[in-house]
Structure 1
């Protein structure tokens, strides 16, 4: 612990739930700060999680977690500079050479095919922030993917096919939807659906509107997909 930063080491399958609970309780308790309007004002906090095995150098994991935290913080301020939401970013370390997150992103988290560039880091994920990626929805989606009937293996393959070409990937996704409609999709698909909020300024006025977002049939929005994030959490959980 240094200044207002907290570093914690815990089992991988507890990390997301712990951070969500910590951020939520932090916001709730700071809403009682003297001079704050409880219904509107509270302090926020941001977090970075570096998933690694027990043999990985601790200082390198902490360095990456801190960098992820700083990115989450910067992203939150970009969403709302006056009252930024609490947020989270994470990464599952799979390479002995870590480097900066920018290097990791270029090396592992960008897919380029014949028609577009897709980022596999869908975050930052926000706490209690509608129409943007949020931690609570991520938790619900992870829970649904723990179902033995979930298409997680086929979606791993979809990510690989995505590298080969967009049309081929679109056809693969259609097959997945057809195969898993009765097994899993009819029961869980709603958890993936999330309209997005588009903000713009016109004559100094901030205007927001909703547009089509994520769905089972549309797993790429604004050049990003959450599937890699979902699969990497499942990969580090003992529950998978």
Structure 2
């Protein structure tokens, strides 16, 4: 029986590469570089080697011809899947695999410096061995990561300038200003410069998914979450699919042979990408449905309350969309948007993802974390906190008895000044109760239709009842916030003095909380008061602003 070679391409430290800069153009460019590492540079190496593969057209984005199979002897290499920072390729022999690797890594070093790549090879006999080989490749990759040599490079001398993005020695000076009268010079390292140069391709890739239709894509964090004289918060959203590793393992265990495994794992990977892109298009349609022109200015309108905020317009009076995807097309996604729509936007993604069925027949359940921060807050830290919040959501599902995480959940945090990297430290410091050991944090929440108090739609229904029409002017809400910090007794006294009860949701799931604010040592009202001014719901009429 013929011996083939399975090759795993694994990009390591993606988060550090993608989010280390506070310049949005570099973040978008870095994301495009990671995408190209698992697409364009693979195709480039195949073209250089003149290999016959299962890729339909090597000059175009990856698309596979399922009729071309490595075991038939008609091709030199078969890409099983590629995307999300890793790829699995089966070569006709180990020499073909190593020749490809030399060409591929040489191009990567030249075009994408700073992106760490691990390559592992494993020979196997085609039949029923590929899944076991992949497990061995993943083990080898992990071992290499843990035991890689740490290079102590000289990062600069007394006569060198420092890159303003990466801290590495600067090799370029570029002019960021559009006009000639004023020059905004920026020093960049080779790593940062390659990200910056990739921005244009990254933006074009976005525009293939999003029709601009009069709305431009922002290129600066300040232009996403800022209304003159009002708001300067952005939302960093991280969404991660639930139990994806387990679902991939089930595919491997249940496949009858290598060919069935290739077909099933490829279909699963493609179904994730299709669902992710389709949901992003759908959410952006809803987002655009909330944008309206009012008194010659463009506004975002909450379709529930009617409240609005003004959108950013550039020097050419182009209105900028208050949202930009950074990482998309896989089971983990990162978006940046205006802080006022961040929680609602994340919720919409989770709802729509859970309505999509993947190729294994189960819904695309996911969890989300939202960090709402000032526009100049370190982006890497904001994303790290969003990841921790997403992990909180997953732990919440486990604590609720959903070990397979076949549900969706959301957690968020508004950060007004803290620079801590640990969400638990932030919450322990800012959400402590003066008297008694009670919880001011009620979140995370389920995302889906049910009658539980820990369901997000019920929480929003209760939050919207904090209004003057219901006897809750802003001054009274502010006083309640202080009483909640004191605990149940102070809250009950405050309510009795005013002769009022706390708001409930439409279906009455908070009836146990309305008398004293707390039940089973927890309260949902502190979350509601904190989020209320930072929550604009998206929805409304869709338009045809996206490509089919």
TM-score by length of 1: 0.74
Stretches of structure 2 that go unaligned for 5 or more consecutive residues are 1-326, 538-548
Name 1:216's counterpart in structure 2: 514
Name 2:214's counterpart in structure 1: none
- CA RMSD, aligned part only? 2.7
Name 2:529's counterpart in structure 1: 231
Superposed displacement of residue 145, structure 1: 2.6
Name 2:355's counterpart in structure 1: 28
Superposed displacement of residue 55, structure 1: 2.1
CA distance in 2, matches of 1:124, 1:26: 18
Which structure: larger Rg? 2
State yes or no: 1:89 paired with 2:417: no
- Report 1:1-240 matches (<5 A): 1=327, 4-30=331-357, 33-34=358-359, 36=361, 41-79=362-400, 80-113=402-435, 116-128=436-448, 129-147=450-468, 149-164=471-486, 166-176=488-498, 178=499, 180=500, 189-191=504-506, 193-194=508-509, 214-237=512-535
Superposed displacement of residue 166, structure 1: 4.2
Superposed displacement of residue 63, structure 1: 0.9
CA distance in 2, matches of 1:142, 1:165: 20
SS of equivalent residue, structure 1 residue 159: helix
| Cα distance change of structure 1 residues 102 and 66 upon mapping to structure 2, 3 Å threshold | same
Superposed displacement of residue 161, structure 1: 2.9
Show CA shifts across 1:176-222 (max 9, x none): 4x2x56xxx7xx63438316xxxxxxxxxxxxxxxxx6432142122
Show CA shifts across 1:86-107 (max 9, x none): 0000111022332311101110
> Which of 146-155 and 76-85 deviates more?
146-155
**Larger RCO (CA under 8 A, 6+ residues apart):** 1
Superposed displacement of residue 70, structure 1: 0.5
Stretches of structure 1 that go unaligned for 5 or more consecutive residues are 196-212
Show CA shifts across 1:26-74 (max 9, x none): 01112xx3453xxxx5231000111112122211111111100001011
| Cα distance change of structure 1 residues 158 and 143 upon mapping to structure 2, 3 Å threshold | closer
CA distance in 2, matches of 1:28, 1:152: 38
Would you say the 8 A contact 2:468–2:474 is kept in 1? no
Return structure 1 stretches of 4+ with deviation > 6 angstroms.
none
Matched residue pairs, number? Answer: 207
Superposed displacement of residue 147, structure 1: 5.0
SS of equivalent residue, structure 1 residue 145: coil
Superposed displacement of residue 139, structure 1: 2.3
Would you say the 8 A contact 2:438–2:521 is kept in 1? yes
SS of equivalent residue, structure 2 residue 521: coil
CA distance in 2, matches of 1:74, 1:165: 26
> Which of 167-176 and 56-65 deviates more?
167-176
